[in-house]
Amino acid sequence: MTDTIVALATPLGRSGIGTVRLSGPDAARIAERFCDSPGFEPRRATLVKLSDPEIGEAIDEAVVTFYRGLNSFTGEDVVEISCHGSPVVLRQVIDGSLRLGARMADPGEFSLRALANGKMNLAEAEAIRDLIDAQTATAARQAVRQMRGEISQTLSPVKDELLDVIVVLESALEFVEDDLPDVQTAALSERLRRIADELDRFAATFKAGHLIREGLRVAIIGHPNVGKSSLFNALLGSERAIVTDIAGTTRDQLHERFTINDIPISLIDTAGLRETTDVVESIGVERSRATMADADLVILMLDASVQTSDEDRQLIESITGLNYIVALNKIDKVPSSDIDRMVAAENSSLAFLRDKIVPISAKTGEGLEDLKAAIIEPFSPGDVDSTGFLITDARHHDLLLRARDEVLGSQRLIEERASEEIILVGLHNALRYFGEITGETTTEDMLTRIFSTFCIGK
């Protein structure tokens, strides 16, 4: 027997409307205790006066909607009480529900119940989470496609083909006395190779999918006073960071989000790198180095108006293993012929960086569009059609690759004339991985882990 859960379905804080959601066998009974109306008509919004179930004092006026059993989001009786979005009122409704026997919902528990009651599969539930968390319209669009079942639909023909091969091998195991004839083995091997190729193709869309969903961490790094904070502000379009002509202005790191071509970018301004005896600044410098190491991309900034120094060369050397581009800043201070010479001349100290240099002026905005293009260029998936369906979840990507490896393993065994029993092991494993994507064969532990990434009230 399941219990009845309650949670705030809208964000915490003050708003026009705030909704408390109840799900479970007692949902309607509990909600009725708050209202002056006896019984709710399913799927009909009813305006009611809410009062405290124990002392009868007025709480608010609200619109209550009741969804009966299988017709609800969770597949159980659900009541949504939409009050005015006052944290005090919402608290009273939730506390009252708890006293009447409801329990506070765990993160993602509404979606988990929908899954348990067959209202959606796991990939679809994850898509709702992703839709709510989406940072851009493109990410939201992908989540909606997944919510509508596109993963299962796309995988379905591959899965059917795999099942077909399994059936052939299983029946050979049952009915064929000798080994399978050569022609049949060759045909099965070919079919498995095609399945593996299909899975590979599908998994490859993750590069674009991941980018659209998670975006990039980009850190601006360089010596003090080169203009890092100025660039940070220019890219964001707001005076977020303090800019002065004093070296060592930025100490704490600043993080802000913006987008380039609908790709979410998490931009980090850092403390200028230099040897320093100042305690606060040296902590900042330490952090800059750590940030640099786990950014997806480093923008190394140099000042075009000063001669490249040994320190610059050391800095460049220290990032050679990382993914980086060079922003040559303050070009407004130097004649453009000098810039050309610095970037293009064979004997220039920057010549070896040529392909990576983007001349800019954080002050005038010159070159910023080129810089934006250079930021996303190494990550642009090029050959992938980003209007098609994309794998956006690392869990799905991992399962697809595992399924592919199992299929390839079995294909090798077929070629080696292994027994059907051994070949079948890998194919059944692959089938199980498919099932884990949609949740058919996911263990209780896994489900708990996945749903803990949801927030309360979903």
Ligand X SMILES: Nc1nc2c(ncn2[C@@H]2O[C@H](COP(=O)(O)OP(=O)(O)OP(=O)(O)O)[C@@H](O)[C@H]2O)c(=O)[nH]1
Give contact residues for Mg ion (rule: CB under 5 A).
Answer: 228-229, 249-250
Nearer to Mg ion, 145 or 228 (CB): 228
Closest approach, Cβ 334 to ligand X, in A, equals 9
DSSP alpha helix (H) spans, 251-393: 279-293, 310-318, 336-344, 368-376
Closest approach, Cβ 297 to ligand X, in A, equals 18
User: By beta-carbon distance, which residue lies closest to ligand X?
Assistant: 272
Closest approach, Cβ 374 to ligand X, in A, equals 17
Nearer to Mg ion, 258 or 379 (CB): 258
Out of Mg ion, ligand X, none, which partner does residue 78 contact, by CB within 5 to 8 A per kind?
Answer: none
User: Which positions lie near ligand X, rule CB under 6 A?
Assistant: 222, 224-230, 243-245, 247-250, 271-272, 329-330, 332-333, 361-363
Closest approach, Cβ 288 to Mg ion, in A, equals 10
Q: How many CB atoms are located within 10 Å of the residue 239 CB?
A: 12
Burial of 214: CB neighbours in 10 Å, binned 0-12, 13-18, 19+: middle
Residue 67 three-state SS = strand
Nearer to ligand X, 226 or 343 (CB): 226
Out of Mg ion, ligand X, none, which partner does residue 363 contact, by CB within 5 to 8 A per kind?
Answer: ligand X
Out of Mg ion, ligand X, none, which partner does residue 329 contact, by CB within 5 to 8 A per kind?
Answer: ligand X
Measured torsion, CA atoms of residues 130, 135, 140, 143, in degrees rounded to the nearest 10 = -20
Backbone CA torsion sign across 166, 171, 174, 179: negative
Distance (Å, whole) CA 122 – CA 155: 14
Distance (Å, whole) CA 197 – CA 162: 13
Out of Mg ion, ligand X, none, which partner does residue 287 contact, by CB within 5 to 8 A per kind?
Answer: none
Residue 392 three-state SS = coil
Strand order in the sheet with 58-67: 46-51, 58-67, 78-85, 15-23, 5-8, 103-104
309's enclosing H/E stretch is none
Q: Which of 141, 106, 156, 149 is nearest to 125 (CA)?
A: 149
Out of ligand X, Mg ion, none, which partner does residue 27 contact, by CB within 5 to 8 A per kind?
Answer: none
Closest approach, Cβ 244 to Mg ion, in A, equals 8
Q: Which residues lie across from 267 on neighbouring strands?
A: 218, 256
Out of ligand X, Mg ion, none, which partner does residue 23 contact, by CB within 5 to 8 A per kind?
Answer: none
Closest approach, Cβ 151 to ligand X, in A, equals 44
For 427, half-sphere exposure in the C-beta direction (CA atoms, 13 angstrom radius) is 29
Out of Mg ion, ligand X, none, which partner does residue 224 contact, by CB within 5 to 8 A per kind?
Answer: ligand X
Closest approach, Cβ 340 to ligand X, in A, equals 17
Nearer to ligand X, 239 or 421 (CB): 239
Out of Mg ion, ligand X, none, which partner does residue 199 contact, by CB within 5 to 8 A per kind?
Answer: none
> Given the DSSP bridges, would you call strands 216-222 and 297-303 parallel, antiparallel or unpaired?
parallel
Distance (Å, whole) CA 220 – CA 230: 11
Nearer to Mg ion, 189 or 250 (CB): 250
Nearer to ligand X, 332 or 415 (CB): 332
Closest approach, Cβ 328 to Mg ion, in A, equals 17
